[in-house]
């Protein structure tokens, strides 16, 4: 029960600011269809899941570690810490949906030279946030995450090709790259400001 409350709190802290932003956009006349809204929510759930499994750092992590902060543990030499097949596989699988959802939501990212670098930057951003909670920032994670994006984008392209051979098109949406990045940033901002693992709900 406590674990369920913990996950619910973590999820709500991240998604609430995004839902408020989307609501305000609709109120101001921005056209967001129901299908587009569902894809946005799907992306949000996915991004929050990535934050959860990678334990992206928060403001409360920073405040709780600031007195004991030492030299950051950063590994920039690929595969120097040994090979973890399970760890590598999990890092790959975790980022496959990124390569599928992003080009679906944003037509401008329907090209590999947009989607894959964005996925790499997203992974790099997460690695940087882990400096806030004394976790290891590891280039191996960055490499495996990028491979996951490549696999996801490849699957998206294959699916799009098969659909076109049948005379159909994948329905994609016209969210601007800047707005897509803003959505991701707002999701992290919600987690960064409002999520605190020491909250009484977690420890009581």
Question: For residues 68 and 98, which has the higher predicted lDDT (pLDDT)?
Answer: 98
**Distance between CA 59 and CA 118 in Å, rounded?**
24
Instruction: Over range 159-187, report the average pLDDT.
Output: 89
CA proximity to 102, closest of 51, 37, 160, 175: 175
List the domain boundaries for the chain.
Answer: 2-203
Mean per-residue pLDDT over the chain, rounded: 87
- DSSP element (H, E) containing 134: none
- DSSP element (H, E) containing 75: strand 74-75
**pLDDT greater than 80 at residue 201:** no
**Distance between CA 190 and CA 89 in Å, rounded?**
28
**Distance between CA 147 and CA 151 in Å, rounded?**
6
pLDDT for the residue numbered 2: 57
- Nearest 5°: the CA angle 13, 16, 22 is 150
Digit-coded pLDDT (tens) for 88-100: 999 999 999 999 9
pLDDT band at 204; cut points 50, 70, 90: very low
pLDDT for the residue numbered 107: 83
**Distance between CA 10 and CA 129 in Å, rounded?**
16
């Amino acid at each position: 029960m406590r674990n369920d409350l913990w996950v619910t709190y973590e999820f709500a802290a991240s998604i609430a600011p995004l839902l408020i932003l989307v609501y305000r956009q609709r109120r101001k006349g921005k056209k967001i269809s129901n299908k587009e809204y569902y894809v946005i929510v799907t992306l949000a759930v996915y991004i929050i899941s990535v934050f959860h499994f990678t334990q992206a750092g928060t403001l409360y992590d920073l405040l709780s570690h600031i007195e004991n902060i030492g030299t950051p543990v950063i590994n920039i030499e690929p595969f120097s810490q040994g090979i973890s097949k399970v760890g590598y596989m999990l890092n790959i699988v975790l980022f496959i949906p990124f390569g599928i959802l992003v080009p679906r939501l944003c037509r401008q990212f329907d090209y590999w030279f947009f989607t894959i670098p964005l996925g790499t930057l997203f992974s790099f951003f997460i690695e940087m946030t882990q400096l806030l909670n004394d976790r290891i920032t590891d280039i191996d994670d960055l490499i495996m995450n990028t491979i996951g994006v490549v696999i996801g984008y490849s699957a998206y392209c294959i699916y799009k090709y098969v659909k076109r051979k049948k005379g159909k098109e994948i329905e994609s949406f016209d969210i601007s790259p800047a707005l897509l990045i803003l959505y991701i940033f707002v999701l992290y901002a919600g987690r960064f400001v409002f999520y605190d693992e020491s909250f009484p709900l977690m420890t009581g």
